[in-house]
Amino acid sequence: MSRDFRLRATFNRAAAIYQDARPDYPAELYSDLLAMTGVTPPAHLLEVGCGPGKATLPLARMGFRITAIELGDALAAEARRRLAGFAGVSVITSSFEDWEPQAGARFDLVYAATAWKWVDPEVKYGKAAALLAQGGHLAVWNADHAMPADFDPFFTQIQKVYEEIGERHDGPWPGPPPEERTDPMAAEFDASGHFAVVGTKLYVWALRYTADEYIALLDTFSGHIAMEPAKREHLYQEIRRRLAERPDGRLTRHWWAVLTVGRRL
């Protein structure tokens, strides 16, 4: 695996704060997920990369049985604690690639929330398809930074600090949310040869953050977790200083997510 894939292990260090620091996914996303897949409780779902249970809890509360796979032992322990009241939910500490299900195990839906990009592309689609019942579905979504036309200028200003400490943003700068009809994952689903896309949906929302809240969020991102401590401390000092100059001490961060649902071929 590449260095990017090895970074997936860093999230385990944020187990204690991840659930509260990361945004909740829109409630409409879950309604659309059920409408697109047709699954109803108590169908058996498989979650890939559940973290502390961010996307597990809403579906567990609906009455679904869920087998959740999580690479990080601390994250898995946090998920078990939060999901202890749901008898039909089990959390397994393993990577999806290495996990060996019981013989004949089949699921009605395999899903991954902000985790699918961290799974080996040579394995994930074929393994998901093999674990699905006839007519079963795969659903994935992320929560990514959006920069619409009215984005907060804080993000342009703070980028200069990243450059000063040698942490210049690699890859494309976050842009506006994709067009409603553009699904970045659809081509990947189709190219896998295992799934036909049956539905996509775009969600865009904005949240306000204090300095403490925003720094807690950054502490759940792999690049910031892996950053040299001195660089990270300087960056966080600058975030606090710049936000302290604002009347309300807050910034606005826009988020976007695309739900992609494919049916097993």
> SS in 3 state form for 60-84?
HHCCCEEEEEECCHHHHHHHHHHCC
Contact yes or no for 8/71 (Cβ under 8 A):
yes
The more confident residue out of 172 and 187 is 187
* Whether the model pTM is above 0.85: yes
- Residue with structure tokens 């985790």? 115
- Closest Cα to residue 15, out of 81, 78, 84, 91? 78
229-242 tens-digit pLDDT: 999 999 999 999 99
Whether 173 shows a pLDDT value over 80: the answer reads no
Return the number of other C-beta atoms located less than 10 Å from residue 139's C-beta. 23
Mean pLDDT over 10-23 rounds to 96
Strand duo 89-93 + 65-70: pairing: parallel
* Superfamily name with CATH number, domain 3-146+177-205+254-264: Vaccinia Virus protein VP39 (3.40.50.150)
Whether 77 shows a pLDDT value over 50: the answer reads yes
Q: Which spans in the chain are helix H?
A: 3-6, 15-21, 27-37, 56-61, 73-82, 124-131, 154-164, 186-192, 211-218, 222-225, 229-244
**Interior CA angle at 195 toward 54 and 141, to 5°?**
20
Instruction: Output the pLDDT for position 1.
Output: 40
Distance CA 41, CA 43 (A): 5
Confidence of residue 6 (pLDDT cuts 50, 70, 90): confident
Instruction: Output the pLDDT for position 177.
Output: 75
Question: Domain limits of the chain?
Answer: 3-146+177-205+254-264
Whether 88 shows a pLDDT value over 70: the answer reads yes
Contacts of 121 (CB under 8 A, 6+ apart): none
Whether 125 shows a pLDDT value over 90: the answer reads yes
Mean pLDDT over 178-195 rounds to 85
- Residue with structure tokens 């200069």? 160
